A and B are shown apart, each in its own frame.
Chain A
Amino acid sequence: MGKSVLLIEDEPNIIEAISFILSRDGWTVATHSNGHDAVGVVESTLPDLIILDVMLPGKSGYEILREIRELHETQGIPVLMLTARGQVKDREMAERAGASRFMTKPFSNAEVLEAVRELVVR
């Protein structure tokens, strides 16, 4: 069984595409699509990597990330943040919140795969 990735994103077709790409590359992919209980899902599944969208219904990706970084069990999990805004300020906010990597939409499949492979050594 491959290393696990938790994809937290609310756009169904992006979820489907990224899940497909990563599954084909040997990753075990779980998905979640709202911000409300995302931290609880992270705590219960303890994935090897989290791909986290910034704009989520219920709670922003930044808030979720900060909470993940405050919990002992989850603070070390690498997080790849996805956002539609690529300004320096957004990148800095992601870094301050504790993001391991920041990726601006629209990204290519190859970029996602490369980032995931770099963030988790298999």
Chain B
Amino acid sequence: MIGKSILIDAVSLVRDSYAISFDAAIEAGTISAIIGPSGAGKSTLLNIVAGFEKPHSGRVLIGDADVTGADPSDRPVSMVFQENNLFSHLTVETNVALGIRPGLSTDPADHSKVADALSRVGLAGFEDRMPGTLSGGERQRVAIARALVRRKPVLLLDEPFAALGPRLRRDMLLLVKQLQAETGMTLLLVTHQPDDAVGIADNIVFLDRGRTVASGAAGGFFKRDDIPGLADYLGDEER
């Protein structure tokens, strides 16, 4: 699986009287962290890449293909949300298997693919458990396992670890980084923690009030003083 580049070209849309306009170029096979204050449009950016929201103007390219008008299921993208990633009345195995075959028909070959994905996220042998019996971190691992079996070049993470404790969150980020290195997929991560961004990402995209204000290499990004709004967002003690 090789990642694809993402180009968000002059995308705009109007939401409840405030306008959004995004421009970003994400290189293939990299990890980008998307940061910014609440309401800056971080989730909207991911929704536009995934196809859950359609821009009023502009283009979205994944690899060389223009996907601006494509349905979510036609895009080479997987997404993991903060919660409710799993269908609670289906077993872990079925939840993951939906990523291979969206019709619930089972194939013996799927069995080993699911088992393999589960062991890669550290949940070997969890096939028959129900989501309700898992911890929050384990449920997110299952969601990531499903993203793995889907083998899509782009993975979007919408604050998937925000509800976890610090230690667990760090473990999950390490897992994600490791999986990204193994698969080479392109990864976009929305986070509220500047530390996470620096720890895992190659690049950082900073959003403020519906705009992509700046993007650049993660190293030293928070020391930059040419980015309007960044100091406000970080607060004084960071500087």
Q: Do A and B bind each other?
A: no
B residues with a Cβ closer than 8 A to A are none
A residues with a Cβ closer than 8 A to B are none
